[in-house]
Amino acid sequence: MQISPANVIGFSTSSKGQKTFQSFNPILNQEIEHSFFEATEDEIDAAMKLAKKAFPILAQTTGKSRAVFLREIASLLETNRAALIHHYSLESGLNAERGNVELNRTIWQLETFALTIENDNWDLLQQDEADLVRLPNPKPAFRKVAFPIGPVVVFGASNFPFAYSTVGGDTASALAAGCPVIVKSHPMHAGTSNLVAQLVIEAAEKTGMPDGIFSHLNAVDFEVGTQLVLHPNTKAVGFTGSFAGGMALQKLAQQRDEPIPVFAEMGSLNPIVILTEAMQHNGEKIALQITNSITQSAGQFCTKPGLLFVLRDNQLDNFLNELKTNFAAVKPQCMLHPNIWKRYNHGRETISSQENVATWIEMKTEKPNFGTPQISQTDGKTFQQNQKLQEEVFGPHSLLIVCEDMSEIQSCIQSLSGQLTASIFCSTEEMKSLSNILFDLQQIAGRIILNGVPTGVEVCDSMHHGGPFPATTDSRFTAVGKDAIWRFLRPISFQNFD
């Protein structure tokens, strides 16, 4: 497979722009040779026009035929695994092991949506039989059916070059729903993204899908994203990234004559509460789980635990020692890009510099782009008084908050804004008196985990990957699992048919 510098507009390619850019190898700390043509206004318009034209054709294909298309993509990803993983690692600094796990997950996501839509009645939501003798008026028959909302713009995520980018969860669920997809590729992994895009097009041609159901545009500039969101043919947007980025898209979408839904997943602090008996019985195991959850893939997950709430009690010192021992054994890992590394260092230093905050660093590295794992420590009172301590630090950092008692933990939790996840480690005995705190966690989070860590998001039917604002722009929808398809469908009632 050859990386192409061109934009992919349906079954054609296009390189009309003057501006090019390169992606970056963070391990070697240097640019990668390939360059990419930034999409022009005309190219964006061409992709959106083609998507509009393709929409009625795609929407009228059967779920079964779209399932064949999704499985063909999956199969091509598998066939080209070696080339994909190679470029993935070059452009992201993530190792091949992580690349393989992520590619497996991407393939499984495609399979999940294929399974969802290959059933004959997958789109039948409800049915009412006619009652022609009802008084005072006969009741007509009704069938409520799911219908695709139209072309969807998907923004690639920096931290998931496979699973949340080109043909990740957003794209797979939109295509499954019957919506054409226009990907604005993430510039940090433009090459990997281009390879995947070529495979999607190959699969579309092989399985007889119409031209225009998938386009792939290169861009460093925010202007390209702006034009895509403002284009009248765009009917929804999928995004995973920063709060600032997500909110910028949300505001653009609301400025349109026709406002459209933006599904932005914008990060989270993912608080974990660890209680005394859990520490006492399982402290060693918990400390290891938490260390891995904070530091794996350099902590570059939206579900990385960023807050650890513990009680000031006789178990604490032991637990902190365990945590420190584990942190001392963590090998610093390369981060995705120098900009992300700089932002990480700025973020962890900001936390460290706050009053009443102590910092432990067990394994410092000066290597460019490698993230130094760090735990900061404060008390419950300071945490509630200083809003800066609630800012997400994207990378291998977590803030440990030592509280005086359960009611202080509860106040801290009540002070938090919306989160993707919240976790609690406790014994069966402790669980019995936790109903208040559990309810508080439900008020802020989209997923509650008992005796487990939030990373390693399971792709299953009952996963909810979402949560109250500012974790996402719409807490009622999930970005992971088969229900992600409902973001891109709307119901239509057919009255009096058959």
Residues that bind a second copy (CB under 8 A): 56, 59-60, 125-128, 137, 139-140, 142-144, 147, 149, 250-251, 254, 258-259, 261, 417, 439, 442-443, 445-452, 456, 458, 460-464, 466, 468-470, 473-476, 478, 483, 486, 489-497
Output the smallest distance, CB 476 to a second copy, in A. Answer: 5
Nearer to a second copy, 127 or 321 (CB): 127
Instruction: Give the other-Cβ count within 10 Å of 254's Cβ.
Output: 10
Give least dist CB 253 to a second copy, A.
9
**Cβ distance to a second copy smaller for residue 21 or 488:** 488
Beta strands in 42-180 (DSSP E): 124-128, 142-148, 152-155
CB of 305 closer than 8 Å to CB of 294: yes
CB 439 within 8 A of CB 413: no
What are the DSSP calls for 328-365, one per residue?
A: HTPPPEE-S-HHHHHHHHHHHHHHHTSTT-EEE-SS--
| Separation of alpha carbons 338 and 350, rounded Å | 18
Beta bridge partner(s), residue 272: 308, 423
Name the minimum Å distance from CB 431 to a second copy: 9
48 or 449: CB nearest a second copy = 449
Which residue has tokens 């919306």? 418
For 498, the token pair is: 């058959």
Tell me whether residue 70 or residue 253 sits nearer to a second copy (CB atom). 253
Catalytic choice (43, 72, 118, 265)? 265
> Rounded to an integer, what distance in angstroms lies between the CA atom of residue 350 and that of residue 353?
5
Judge contact between 457 and 101, C-beta under 8 A. no
Residue with smaller CB distance to a second copy, 96 or 450: 450
Active site residue 265: yes
Minimum CB separation of residue 458 from a second copy in Å reads 6
Say how far apart CA 209 and CA 46 lie, in whole Å. Answer: 18
Least distance in angstroms from the C-beta of 258 to a second copy: 5
Smallest Cα–Cα separation from 479: which of 163, 136, 211?
Answer: 163
- Return the amino acid letter for 325: T
In the numeric block, the tokens 């904070």 are attached to: 294
Percent composition of the chain: helix, strand, coil (DSSP 3-state, to 5):
45, 20, 35
> Which is catalytic among the residues 302, 334, 403, 412?
302
| Distance between CA atoms of residues 482 and 63, nearest Å | 14
Closer to a second copy at the Cβ: 243 or 360?
243
Q: Quick check: 378 and 401 in contact, CB under 8 A?
A: yes
Residue 340 C-beta: closest distance to a second copy, Å: 26
Nearer to a second copy, 219 or 444 (CB): 444
b/e code 352-370 from CB counts within 10 Å (16+ = b): eebeebebebbeeeeeebb
Strands 142-148 and 124-128: antiparallel
In the complex, minimum distance from the CB of residue 218 to a second copy, in angstroms, rounded to a whole number: 30
Instruction: Give the residue with the Cβ less far from a second copy, 68 or 449.
Output: 449
Whole-number Å distance between alpha carbons of 287 and 411:
24
Q: Give min distance, CB of 354 to a second copy, in A.
A: 23
Radius of gyration of the chain (CA): 24
Give the active site residues: 265, 302
